Amino acid sequence: MEFSLPVALGTVIAIVVLGVAGLVAGGMMALRTTLMMVAPSMLVFGLLAFGIGVKHGEFRATR
């Protein structure tokens, strides 16, 4: 399977959405807390991990 940038970013966003939906459905914390604190931090972490992974893949591909 070949990933392009939009497909890969869409996958990261889908994983974050599924995680937030699970937290909301589970009723572990207030909806407002989940959407204002947890969702943005999950998105930032996901994008940082994605960026580091891309750079690592580029490094490995050139060595």
Could you please report the per-residue DSSP string of 4-62?
A: -HHHHHHHHHHHHHHHHHHHHHHTSS-HHHIIIIIHHHHHHHHHHHHHHHHHHHHHHHH
User: What pLDDT, on the 0 to 100 scale, is given for residue 3?
Assistant: 77
pLDDT band at 2 (very low <50, low <70, confident <90, very high): confident
- Report yes or no: 50 and 12 within 8 Å, Cβ to Cβ: yes
Predicted model pTM: 0.81
| AA identity, residue 30 | A
Residue 12 CB-half CA count within 13 A: 18
Residue 21 has a pLDDT of: 95
Q: List pLDDT tens digits, range 10-60.
A: 999 999 999 999 999 999 899 999 999 999 999 999 999 999 999 999 999
